[in-house]
Amino acid sequence: MSSVSVSASASPSSNLLPSSPSPLPSSDSRSRPLRRLSQLRAYTQLHFSSPPPQQPQQQQQQQPSVASSSSSSTNSQRVSRRHTLGSRVSWFSAASTGPDSLTSTVGTTTRAPCPESEHQSTFARYSSVFSPSYRGLELDLRSQPSPTESSNSPLRNETATATGNQTQEIMARPRGSSQAVEARPNGEVSSAGNIQPGALESPDPVVSESPCTSSPRPKQKATIRFFPHQDSHASSRPSLPFIPISRTLPSDSCVIRVGRYSERDGTPVANPTEPSDAPVGFKSKVVSRKHCEFMYLNGQWHVKDVGSSSGTFLNHMRLSQPNIASRLYTIKDGDIVQLGIDFRGGEEMIFRCVRIRIECNRSWQQQPNEFNKNTENLIKNLGKGDTADYSGCRECSICLGSVLRPYQCLFMAACAHVWHYKCVSRLIHTPDYPMFQCPNCRAYTDLSAEVDDTNDFEEQEESKSASAEDKPEALEPARSETHTPQQDPNAITQPSRTSGDERHPETRLPVEAGLAANIENMRLQDLDASDDNSSQPPAPTSNPDSVPSNANNEVPGWQSLTQSPSSAQTRPAQLRAETPVRSESSDENPLTPLNDSGPSYPQNATPPTES
Partner 1 sequence: MGSQKRIAKELAELTESAPEGITVKLADESNLYIWNVYMEGPENSPYQNGTFHLTLTLPTEYPFKPPTVSFRTKIYHPNVTNDDKGSMCLGMLRADEWKPSSRLAAVLQFARQLLAEPMPDDAVEGRIAEQFKGDFARYEEVAREWTRKYAVRG
Q: Which residues bind partner 1 (CB under 8 A)?
A: 230, 232, 397-401, 422-423, 426-427, 439-440, 442, 604, 606-607, 609-610
With respect to partner 1, which residue has the nearer C-beta, 161 or 611? 611
The distance of closest approach from Cβ of residue 606 to partner 1 in the complex, given in angstroms and rounded to an integer, is 7
* DSSP-assigned beta bridge partners for residue 303: 294, 329
Q: Which amino acid is at 342?
A: D
With respect to partner 1, which residue has the nearer C-beta, 280 or 427? 427
Q: Are 329 and 317 contacting, i.e. CB atoms less than 8 angstroms apart? A: no
With respect to partner 1, which residue has the nearer C-beta, 393 or 515? 393
The distance of closest approach from Cβ of residue 238 to partner 1 in the complex, given in angstroms and rounded to an integer, is 13
Rounded Cα distance between 587 and 486, Å, is 46
Q: Is 315 left (phi over 0), alpha (psi -120 to 50) or beta?
A: left
Nearest CA to 290 among 268, 305, 273, 274? Answer: 305
Residue 170 CA, chain-centre distance (Å), reads: 15
Under DSSP, is residue 541 helix (H, G, I), strand (E, B) or coil?
helix
Under DSSP, is residue 212 helix (H, G, I), strand (E, B) or coil?
coil
Rounded Cα distance between 390 and 401, Å, is 16
Q: How distant, in Å, are the alpha carbons of 56, 57, 71, 200 from that of 60?
A: 6, 5, 9, 43
Q: Are 513 and 541 contacting, i.e. CB atoms less than 8 angstroms apart? A: yes
The distance of closest approach from Cβ of residue 334 to partner 1 in the complex, given in angstroms and rounded to an integer, is 11
The distance of closest approach from Cβ of residue 391 to partner 1 in the complex, given in angstroms and rounded to an integer, is 19
Q: Are 417 and 398 contacting, i.e. CB atoms less than 8 angstroms apart? A: no
With respect to partner 1, which residue has the nearer C-beta, 86 or 439? 439
Residue 483 CA, chain-centre distance (Å), reads: 21
Q: What is the dihedral of CA 438, 442, 446, 451, to 10 degrees?
A: -60
With respect to partner 1, which residue has the nearer C-beta, 401 or 495? 401
The distance of closest approach from Cβ of residue 410 to partner 1 in the complex, given in angstroms and rounded to an integer, is 15
The distance of closest approach from Cβ of residue 509 to partner 1 in the complex, given in angstroms and rounded to an integer, is 35
Q: What is the dihedral of CA 259, 263, 267, 269, to 10 degrees?
A: 0
Q: Which amino acid is at 261?
A: Y
Helices 487-498 and 3-19 pack at an angle, to 10 degrees, of 110
The distance of closest approach from Cβ of residue 424 to partner 1 in the complex, given in angstroms and rounded to an integer, is 9
With respect to partner 1, which residue has the nearer C-beta, 58 or 437? 437
With respect to partner 1, which residue has the nearer C-beta, 173 or 357? 357
With respect to partner 1, which residue has the nearer C-beta, 259 or 607? 607
The distance of closest approach from Cβ of residue 326 to partner 1 in the complex, given in angstroms and rounded to an integer, is 26
DSSP 8-state secondary structure symbol assigned to residue 324: -
Helices 487-498 and 178-190 pack at an angle, to 10 degrees, of 100
With respect to partner 1, which residue has the nearer C-beta, 32 or 357? 357
The distance of closest approach from Cβ of residue 406 to partner 1 in the complex, given in angstroms and rounded to an integer, is 20
